Amino acid sequence: MAEETTSSVSKGCFLFKKNVTGSPRKRRYGNAIDLIDRYDGESTENVSQRYDNFKQCWKQVKTKIEALESNSKIFSHIVEYVQSAHKKSNKTYKHGYINEIPTAVLITGVNMPDHDIIFSQLAKDLSKITPYIAVLQSKDCTTMKFTMKNMVLQFMSSDEEDEEKEESHGSVHHKPRLGSYTMVQLCHWYKTACKIQESEKKNLIKNKETLKKSSATENPPLVVILEDFEGFHPPVIQDFVSVCSQYTHDIPLVMVFGVATSVSAVHQVLPHSVSTLLSIERFQSQPSLTCLLEIISKVLMTAGIPFKLGHKVFRFLYENFLFHDFSLQNFSTGLQFCMMEHFYENPVSVVCCKQEERESVITDLSHEELEIMRRRPSFRKYVESCEMKEQVFLLSDDDHTKDVIIKLLVKFDCYHKYFFPVLDCLHAITANLPKHLLGKRVRDVYELCLNSNIYEQEQYKESLSLLRVYAKDELLLLLQKCVVILTSSLKESCKELENHRDKLTSFLEQFEKIGEVKQTEETTTPVEPKVTTPKILSRFELQEKLKTAAKQKRKDSPFDQLRQEVVEYLNQFFREYLTCPQNMPLHEVMYFDGITAVKQHLIGMPRVAIQTALTNPHHYLKCECCEIDAGTIQDSLPDISIAYKLHLECGRLINLYDWLQAFSVVIDPDSCSSKKKTPAKKKKKSNEELQARFIRAVSELQFIGFIKPTKRKTDHVQRLTWGGC
Please check the confidence at residue 718 and state whether its pLDDT lies above 50: yes
Task: Give residue 93's pLDDT.
Answer: 47
The confidence band for 178, taking pLDDT boundaries of 50, 70 and 90, is: very low
Residues in CB range of 422: below 8 A, 6 or more apart = 497, 573, 574, 577, 578
The confidence band for 725, taking pLDDT boundaries of 50, 70 and 90, is: very low
Choose between 693 and 636: higher pLDDT: 693
* DSSP codes of every residue in 25-84: HHHH-SSGGGGSPPPTT--HHHHHHHHHHHHHHHHHHHHHHHHHS--HHHHHHHHHHHHH
Task: Give residue 683's pLDDT.
Answer: 61
pLDDT tens-digit series, residues 180-213: 688 998 998 998 888 877 776 666 654 444 444 4
Please check the confidence at residue 609 and state whether its pLDDT lies above 90: no
Percent of the chain with pLDDT over 90: 53
The confidence band for 69, taking pLDDT boundaries of 50, 70 and 90, is: confident
Task: Give residue 228's pLDDT.
Answer: 92
Average pLDDT, the chain: 83
Averaged over 345-359, what is the pLDDT? 91
The confidence band for 25, taking pLDDT boundaries of 50, 70 and 90, is: very low
Going by C-alpha positions, the residue among 434, 418, 429 that lies closest to residue 481 is 429
Averaged over 323-334, what is the pLDDT? 91
Averaged over 135-164, what is the pLDDT? 83
Mind listing the domains of the chain with CATH numbers?
A: 72-88+100-158+220-285 (3.40.50.300), 606-719 (1.10.10)
Please check the confidence at residue 554 and state whether its pLDDT lies above 70: no
Going by C-alpha positions, the residue among 157, 156, 158, 163 that lies closest to residue 196 is 163
The confidence band for 248, taking pLDDT boundaries of 50, 70 and 90, is: confident
CA distance 288 to 286: 6
Task: Give residue 711's pLDDT.
Answer: 85
Task: Give residue 671's pLDDT.
Answer: 64
Averaged over 544-567, what is the pLDDT? 80
Averaged over 315-343, what is the pLDDT? 93
Averaged over 111-117, what is the pLDDT? 86
Task: Give residue 545's pLDDT.
Answer: 78
The confidence band for 24, taking pLDDT boundaries of 50, 70 and 90, is: very low
Q: Considering only 315-329, 617-631, 664-678, 711-725, which range has the smallest mean pLDDT?
A: 664-678
Q: Considering only 178-192, 349-363, 444-458, which range has the smallest mean pLDDT?
A: 178-192
Q: Directed axis angle between helix 367-374 and helix 398-430, to 10°?
A: 40
Averaged over 510-539, what is the pLDDT? 60
Q: Which amino acid is at 214?
A: S
SS3 category, 719: strand
Choose between 111 and 101: higher pLDDT: 101
> Are the CB atoms for 101 and 245 separated by under 8 Å?
yes
pLDDT tens-digit series, residues 454-472: 999 999 999 999 999 888 8
* Straight-line distance from the first to the last Cα atom of the chain, in angstroms, rounded to the nearest whole number: 31
Q: Considering only 53-57, 86-90, 479-483, 558-562, which range has the smallest mean pLDDT?
A: 86-90
Going by C-alpha positions, the residue among 303, 307, 245, 315 that lies closest to residue 274 is 245
pLDDT tens-digit series, residues 339-349: 999 999 999 99
Choose between 23 and 402: higher pLDDT: 402
Residues in CB range of 625: below 8 A, 6 or more apart = 636, 637
Encode burial over 600-627: b for 16+ CB neighbours within 10 A, e otherwise. Answer: eeeeeeeeeebbebbbbbeeeeeeeebe
Task: Give residue 615's pLDDT.
Answer: 87
Going by C-alpha positions, the residue among 412, 386, 385 that lies closest to residue 579 is 412
Averaged over 360-371, what is the pLDDT? 91
pTM (predicted TM-score): 0.79
Please check the confidence at residue 533 and state whether its pLDDT lies above 80: no
> Are the CB atoms for 705 and 721 separated by under 8 Å?
yes
The confidence band for 267, taking pLDDT boundaries of 50, 70 and 90, is: very high
Burial class (CB in 10 A: 0-12, 13-18, 19+), 478: buried
Q: Report which secondary-structure segment, H or E, holds 134.
A: strand 133-136
Choose between 537 and 447: higher pLDDT: 447
Encode burial over 581-598: b for 16+ CB neighbours within 10 A, e otherwise. Answer: bbebbbbbbbbbbbbeeb
pLDDT tens-digit series, residues 570-606: 999 999 999 999 999 999 999 999 999 999 888 878 8
Task: Give residue 164's pLDDT.
Answer: 52
Going by C-alpha positions, the residue among 469, 472, 468 that lies closest to residue 570 is 468
Averaged over 44-64, what is the pLDDT? 92
The confidence band for 314, taking pLDDT boundaries of 50, 70 and 90, is: very high
Averaged over 433-447, what is the pLDDT? 92
CA distance 566 to 558: 12
Task: Give residue 603's pLDDT.
Answer: 85
* Order of strands across the sheet that contains 222-226: 133-136, 222-226, 253-259, 101-107, 278-284
Q: Considering only 119-133, 392-406, 469-483, 543-557, which range has the smallest mean pLDDT?
A: 543-557
pLDDT tens-digit series, residues 669-689: 766 555 555 565 556 667 888
Choose between 252 and 532: higher pLDDT: 252
Task: Give residue 673's pLDDT.
Answer: 57
SS3 category, 629: coil
Averaged over 151-166, what is the pLDDT? 69
Choose between 498 and 629: higher pLDDT: 498
Please check the confidence at residue 413 and state whether its pLDDT lies above 50: yes
Residues linked to residue 107 through DSSP beta bridges, in sequence order: 259, 284
Task: Give residue 20's pLDDT.
Answer: 47
pLDDT tens-digit series, residues 646-661: 999 888 899 999 999 9
CA distance 698 to 641: 10
